[in-house]
Chains A and B, each alone.
Chain A
């Protein structure tokens, strides 16, 4: 295994980083960490590792950014299509980004799910290539810094672990595969949880309709100002109208203990 790493180490580190930033759930953080810890033993230069990892991450992110810029919302839609409710996923992600702006890119690498979504979103929202590049570089830098620090601090333990693994020969490969499979599963669950979080906060019209058709006791609240309402004179059937300026005084009219759906224009 050591031989394999020595032979293909740089390539491996680069491709894992690139692949993860393209959206494949691979463990690029542990790989970077191990590479740093074993750098001296395997004859890797730390500068070379840093350069390759940065390049891989920027390349992956850059491609998504470009996609976002060229294809707009459709990219996000594709990314969100893994989730149960694409509409909510798209709008919630936009909300998230809208609140924290480009700065989301700085921490995106540490948040499962956001890592893949942030770059195309930046492209979609028309952030300039230079600005994207600089902020993304900052984000990669933070992430890489964390890997370097941990790799150097835990060098002893990691070396011991690798030696222990290579002592087992073929068995160690099996262990590695199991660990990898476990990592895949973990990432997948994390991702699902992230998308579910995005979904939870909104309901799409077809879903509401379906719940009403099923006879669920949903309270619908119309929050349009009276100007908005007068333009068409219509509201969702059965909705209670509370204009926003009276909301604090009148929210008690909304019955408790039932799901509430609110809407404006």
Chain B
């Protein structure tokens, strides 16, 4: 996807090393999604 953005003319694109987990593990600022996740879908997701 970074490559796709590059071809579309975005000049500086970086994947974040270690992804969200690395960010969270270091205690850097996060926020809630605007829409709160629905509990029903969490249950459905973890059941599957």
Contact = CB atoms under 8 A, between A and B. Distances in A.
Interface of A: 87-88, 91, 201-206, 208-209, 222-224, 227, 229-238, 241, 244, 247-248, 251, 254, 256, 258-265
A251 B19 contact: no
- Interface size of B as a range: 20 to 34
A241 B4 contact: no
B29 to A, nearest CB: 4
Nearest to B1: A247
Interface string B5-48: 10011101111111111111010111111001110011001000
Tell me whether chain B's interface is mostly helix, strand or loop, or mixed.
Answer: mixed
A248 B4 contact: yes
Contacts of B28: 205, 209, 236
Contact of B10 (A209, A241, A256): A256
Contact of A263 (B4, B23, B42, B45): B23
Given A234-B32, A236-B28, A251-B8, A205 B37 contact: no
Contacts of A87: 17-18
A234 B21 CA distance: 11
A259 B12 CA distance: 5
Given A256-B9, A262-B1, A205 B26 contact: yes
Contacts of A236: 20, 23, 28-31
B2 A235 contact: no
Contacts, number: 111
23 contacts: A201-B2, A202-B16, A204-B22, A205-B16, A205-B23, A208-B23, A229-B33, A230-B38, A230-B45, A233-B32, A234-B33, A236-B23, A237-B31, A247-B1, A251-B4, A251-B8, A259-B12, A260-B10, A261-B14, A262-B16, A263-B15, A263-B23, A264-B19
B17 A230 contact: no
Contact of A202 (B17, B20, B32): B17
Given A205-B22, A229-B33, A233-B36, A244 B15 contact: no
A67 B35 CA distance: 49
A91 B15 CA distance: 12
Q: Is the interface of A mostly helix, strand, loop or mixed?
A: mixed
A254 B5 contact: yes
Nearest to A202: B17
A231 B45 CA distance: 9
Contacts of A222: 20
A212 to B, nearest CB: 9
Nearest to A228: B20
B20 A262 contact: no
B16 to A, nearest CB: 4
